[in-house]
Amino acid sequence: MAYFAARDVETTLPCPACQQRLHIARTCHEAYMYCPACSGRYALRDFVARADEAMEEFLENLYVNRI
């Protein structure tokens, strides 16, 4: 795991509300999906089955206790 992993990455997954590309982000305590276009925020569990390469690489560098 990298010590300086990205805090925010754009994915190819569409936002359920507006169909714009979702981002995956992390804080010190959690990780989540969000849409910068409509400000929607979503749980990771809703997108894991459809994870794209950007999301998978992001999660590879994430501590398990944030998921």
pLDDT in tens, 44-65: 999 999 999 999 999 988 877 6
- Domain total in the chain: 1
Is residue 3 included in any domain, yes or no? no
Is residue 20 included in any domain, yes or no? yes
Range of the domain at 37: 8-66
Sign of CA dihedral 25, 26, 27, 29: positive
Task: Specify the pTM.
Answer: 0.85
Residue 33 phi, psi dihedral angles, 5° rounding: -105, 145
Q: What is the pLDDT of residue 11?
A: 98
| Mean pLDDT confidence for 18-42 | 95
Record the tokens describing residue 15, joined without a space: 């936002």
Is residue 29 included in any domain, yes or no? yes
Q: What is the pLDDT of residue 23?
A: 98
Residue 15, Cβ neighbours under 10 Å: how many? 19
Could you give the maximum distance between any two Cα atoms of the chain, in Å? Answer: 34
Over residues 28-38, the pLDDT tens digits come to: 889 999 999 99
Task: Check if the beta carbon of residue 38 is closer than 8 Å to that of residue 20.
Answer: yes
Residue 50, Cβ neighbours under 10 Å: how many? 11
